[in-house]
Each structure stands twice: as structure tokens, then as C-alpha cells.
Amino acid sequence: MAYHHLAMAARDMAAIHHFYEGVMGFELVKVEVAAVPEGGWAKHFFYRMGGDDSAFIAFWEMHDVPGCEHLETALSKAAGVPDQINHIAFNAMDTEELTRRKAKWLAAGLAVLEIDHNWCRSIYTRDPNGNTVEFCVTTGCFDEDDRARALQALTSDAVPFSPEPADIKLHRPKAG
């Protein structure tokens, strides 16, 4: 089962729109505008992530909502954890899509971290909210040993570290 939408607050909707529609290629399809029960009002923008209406990413633009004067939109920073812990990972259909996405991010002036995790390959950048955004393609398969190790890790800290990533590269955009 996939999720229907992920919703987050935004500090700068113009920058969010440029990134998620212009760079990511998602389509803004809906906005809900309403009062917020705690006070103030908000716009709730929905971006379609695929060809159908089954998966969205959404952003709240809040107006006069109590307690939102100094809103922290970076999920990891708000939680007090390292940047890579709370992140948004989108599916890439294959490694060719990953390559196209990386090129688009670089062309948009974004730095891209590329990691081969041995069972999946990922590219990472940051969105205007300061969140780590990932495209990931699964390149391996899972077996009973993987499941047994995962189940063991639920109740034990004595599970050996995973192998180091097969490859890590940082790609910087060309100076323009």
C-alpha cells in the first residue's frame, strides 16, 4: 500500500512551487483554502507526483496561524537530528531515470550526492524547506537472511554494521 500524500508546512511557497513543479516535474493540481481551527487561515497545495491521482506531495502556506511565526520547515532540524535522518525519498523506475533526475538537479544549480547502497541506488539534494530529498531505485532483492537480520535488529544492538556503500560521489553543478 502506498501513501496518498505527504503534507508539510512551507515557508516560501514560490520557491517550493519552482522546485517541486519546475525542477522535480510534479504538477500542482489542487489547492484548499480554509480557516485553521487554532486561528488564522491556510492554503494547502497538492502536487501530483505521477500520471494518476494516487500520490501527492502537499504543502501548507499558513497565514496568521498562532505559533507559526518562526516556523522551522526542515524536518530533521525541527526534530533535532542529523539532516539525513528525516528525508523524503521518491521512487525512480530505473537507473536511467536516476541519471535523468541527477542531470536535471545539476542543471538547476543543485549539488547532488549519489550513493550505491549495495541494494539500491540513490541521489540526494535539498528542497527549499531545507529537507533532504532523494530519488531511489531498488537494484537488489531481499531474501530470508535479510528478513532474519532485520527481525534480530528489532531486539538486539549486537547486529553487525552493514557493508559500506559500494560508491559515493558528490556532484556539484557547473558554475554558470
176 located within any domain: no
Q: For residue 52, which amino acid is it?
A: D
How many whole angstroms separate alpha carbon 18 and alpha carbon 128? Answer: 9
Query: Does residue 84 sit in the same domain as residue 166?
Result: yes
Q: What is the pLDDT of residue 163?
A: 95
Cell of 75: 524536518
- Banded pLDDT at 176 (limits 50, 70, 90): low
Beta bridge partners of 6: 57
71 located within any domain: no
Q: What is the pLDDT of residue 2?
A: 80
- Helix, strand, coil % (nearest 5) of the chain? 25, 35, 45
Query: Does residue 98 sit in the same domain as residue 133?
Result: yes
Domain holding 49: CATH number? Answer: 3.10.180.10
Give tens-digit pLDDT for 79-138: 999 999 999 999 999 999 999 999 999 999 999 999 999 999 999 999 999 999 999 999
Q: For residue 156, which amino acid is it?
A: S
How many whole angstroms separate alpha carbon 70 and alpha carbon 101? Answer: 32
Contact 149, 159 (CB under 8 A): yes
Q: Which helix (H) or strand (E) holds 105?
A: helix 95-107
95 located within any domain: yes
Which 8-state DSSP code applies to residue 139? -
- Total structural domains within the chain: 2
How many whole angstroms separate alpha carbon 61 and alpha carbon 81? Answer: 24
Query: Does residue 91 sit in the same domain as residue 155?
Result: yes
Contact 115, 108 (CB under 8 A): no
